[in-house]
Chains A and B, each alone.
Chain A
Amino acid sequence: MAPLLRMRHIALAGVVTAIACAKSAPVATPVPAAGPVILTLQELDQDHGKNVLSDRSGIADINSTLEIRIDSTALRQQVSSLVGPSTISPAVIARLAALQAMAVARLDLVRAYTESVERYAADSNAATLQAVQDALKPLAKNARSLYAATKEDKALSDRFEAMLESFFSGAPAATPPSVAQQYDAVLAFAGQEATAARQALDVEAQKAGVRIQVGTWLSTTQGVRPVAAPSLNSTEPSSPFVVDRWSVIMDDAQRKQVEANAQVARAINSDGAAGVVKLLTAAAKASLERISGELRECAKTVNDAVVGITTNAGGNPPTQALNQLKTQVKTLEKVGTDLAALADKYRQPATTTDAAAFLQATNADLGTIKAGIETVDGTVKQIQATLAGVRTDLLHGGDLDNNASGLKTKLKGCVPSISEAYDGLSAQFREAFPSARIVALADSAWREVLSFDVGSVPATATVPLITAGPRRAGDLVLIRLAAVRGADDKRQVLDEQQVTLQRVLPHLELAVGLVFADPLGSSEVSHRFQAAPAYSVLYRRGSRRSMARNSFWNLGLGLNVAAVDFDKDDVPELGLGLTASTFSDMLNAGVGYNVFIDRAYWFFGVRLPVGILSLAGSRTPVDDSGTQPSQ
């Protein structure tokens, strides 16, 4: 197979794998407790647009401010189920919002009816009659709703009839109260009942020790962290971090990718697919050896601690803790050994010359590595827990000094260090595992969340995302409202909303990748296509409705800059082109012009979904460290 034909197979395999790895839309979050919706969200974006997030799993722009509205009536309705036996009838609780709405609408509805009746009296015709009938409809509907409630609750019925008896008593038959006055009295009664019910519920909730918390968190690939919402928690706002909409400057990682792509392009142009496989193999081996080495170092540190504790204990060793530590060391060593074996695989020449098969196998290996890192993460936590149970008098000497602080510090560094190597191995892989949907939060996650009486929960709160710290498209914001009854009771989630952050507003993205340029006729290029490192500046806008569009098939249009070498003098020439990019930049195509040798060309480009060598291109980065791309 000709080398460049093989490269087309690589590109195809890349796109296929990319489709398989594309982010899936988060599963819609059900309302945690059955009942009325308490939380509603509105997004205020940088362009002063306002968008209500009607779905419980919505999409918002990554730089927006989220306005949280807390429906105090719905909250009370939900809380009533926690309070236990209540003095307020279920009929009233169930209709609390409707009763309040009647009171709110009362004046307007009665006025509209009164005015319509006056117009009809002054000029009786079909139009003015229709206006009267239209004005009556909402009044009648509300009155009937109230009456339906009274049929379910005798006490309420008694109060209602007592009010009406008082209202009509003494009214002379010649001048009875008007219909407007009657409806006014009925709706006012509804409002009084709602107010009384709210107050009674608040008192009952307070007596039962019910407290309300509204937590706000950001879930990224790095984990879950609280987000400052000044009226809801005491979390310190992060330094303002704005994901720049119009930045076209490469960051360090992208510059490295361009360099890597240049190597890959040279390998393709000289040896075709075989060259690429050779290059990838060498890079994978280096990364895996680094991970394996780090892991073995960690295991050795823990093993030294076991020896230290055994020595310190003399004839009375903490057998159980030591056995646990030994088992945990074995786990670390096993993962290290497995990864070393994987590195050995890459030390050998590639076992296959089939590029597509190579890519698929590599991708499977990345999955193995990720599972290994997760095992290490869990094991390190177990080790720390085991150390916490060891007698302090046994913790002295070397890393065991000061309650094993040195050892704990080293362990803390273990996982990030390995993860860092892993990220270098596969920046792309991270995208295949988007921020996880938050299912459970530890109690400690609520530590900074303020606690309110039911009656004092703020009606609105804002979450300015720019103070939420570093974030990237695909991260999730979780807003969860929970109630706790008493100090020892389990927290009960009453409502929650998840918002996926995306770059919704129009913006520019910088995509780094490889292009395959066809010089359209004779040149020094021996094959039809020449590989070249390139980047594109793409104009895009996201969607508030379609997760798939944001994460996969969002079309970008823009400029492409490629370092082609049509005259084969090993000095790159500047190629400028127009390009369209889609499938998460896995595929792009366009037309270009070689400025130096005055030749037009067309090209297609790929972003290979293997991160070895950081080969894969990336879109305008949002540095997880919190550093903005330099301007």
Chain B
Amino acid sequence: MKYIKSILAVLLCVVTLVSCSEWLDVNTNPETPTSSSATIETRLPWIEYYVLLTDAVAGFRTTMQCGDWTRTATNGGNYFYSSYWNPANGICTTPYQQLFVGGLCNNQDLYDKAMEQGAYHFAAMSKMFNAIGYMIMTDLYGEMPYTDACSENATPVYDNGKTIYLGCLKELDEAIELFGRTQEAGAPALANCDWWNGGNIDKWTKLAYLLKARYGVKLSKKANGSLADGKYDPDAILAALAKGPQSINDDTAVDFLDEGTSFRTAIYGDPSDINGYYSVLGMNAGYMVTAAFEENFTNFNGLGIEDPRADKHIPWQYSIKGPDTPDNVKYVGNWRRSKGVDMTSPSSPVGKGGPIRSNFDASGNKGWWISTEDPTRLADTLFVEATCGSTGYGKEPDLFFRRVGGNDRSRESGSFYARATTPQYVGTYCEACFIKAEVLFNQGKKAEAYTAYKEGVKANFDMMNKVLATYTGKNPAYAECPSFTVMSDSAINNYLNNALGTADNLTLGKIMTQKKMAFVFSLQIWNDMRRYDYNPDIFFNWQVAYNYAVTAATNKVIPQGKQWRRWRQCSHELNYNSTNLHAIGAEVPGADMSLEQWNNAQDVWTINVWWDSTQQ
């Protein structure tokens, strides 16, 4: 019995354990805090990063569709294809993923907690993030879950473009109202965690109004009416602009530290303290400007006046001028400026498997050279990539990229907007001017439009010079390379006075082309081009690449006579949310609902998004 007793005792122990539910309460990760424990002060800068990255990725990727940039075929892949309108599904994931998985999954929590604490400015920011983020989504994809996104629903229902559009406008209004409130006592200060605008509520409010104008002008294909109803409303746009940025000091221009020690995110391998365009164009090989781009900057409107910005955007290479160097190549000292890649003629290198990336021969005396026996490709040495250096991430001594490590003779300058420390411009006075110019011009107010137009170009010089001035004196090498020097007042004035034309001969084309030149990698450019149906009179020197017409694959995705109007939904939506995605097709004119999935139609890329259509 003694044994039995002891066994029963053991049994009792086990039973006690069973009843002891605390023993089972171990399902809290000891290493990682749960979502509910995050503070709004730490949540906010996180969302800022991802929304900013979304904007950059959307901007860069769509720029590749707009005729100003291409990539070498060897490095090329999806962006080379985009540059001749052969869209690949591979481009469609990142902006969507950064926005939802990186940013917006945090946004409701930010709003709820901020309102609870009376931190209204944080709540306003939450509204701003939604407006910016979802507007990018509808710009790219047309339809997207919006009201049901980031909810408990594992397969969120889609909203049509109009619902998203109007929702974003409403969120801007809510943000403006919340920015206007005084935060409750004890609520955290925005200044400590907002790395876009340092907690400057005035800038934020002006940005909100600018966005209203930006969104408003996108409705230029709609009937006139109230902006709140999704109609074209010039008065509302101008009214918003009146409350938007009034000088470059009101710009939301995000500066970067480039310290190289910053966090690298799990869904994006690059550091968070560098310019998003640098992350793609500056860090990688093979991106080149096109001949159309070069033409606009060196011969705007055929007047033959070189734009001082040409030196800043078109990349330079350290290069010794040789006897065979063609005359039309610009040299400043031992710096050579890239030529633009011809995209449109039958002899376009793009149509011949090029352009080929030049190599730098450090050992021999070839310097920059092209490895090919094809005589037509030898001139590809004239193309300089946008690759540039960084002191933090790249641990380079300066912002030059050296093709051969340590070899100064292999330096390349990069391009203004794609440097690690160049600010990312979320909303600028410059853009406000161009929107104003367009709206006024279309109202027939040419003189006022001209003022705004000229002011816009000037604002762009100013904002660029503000950055270029930071290089001055830092490093004598910067002074030698025209990519880094401040544009002189005389050159600027010459350009402003002589290249832009007059109020009398102002055309919409000049306004829109100058806007395109001011915002080299902005998503707004693709938006503009779609609004005006890629009209070459409005976008100077625009022409679909030669390769587009002759490549078999492009004829299925963007059949001849049609234009690139949207992106396909990314595979995650096609695979995992197909029922909801197909359902929204019923509200999309042009969607082929006889297919199992309208969004899988080969030419889905050609369906206009809501704001780009006449659908009211």
Do chains A and B interact in one complex? no
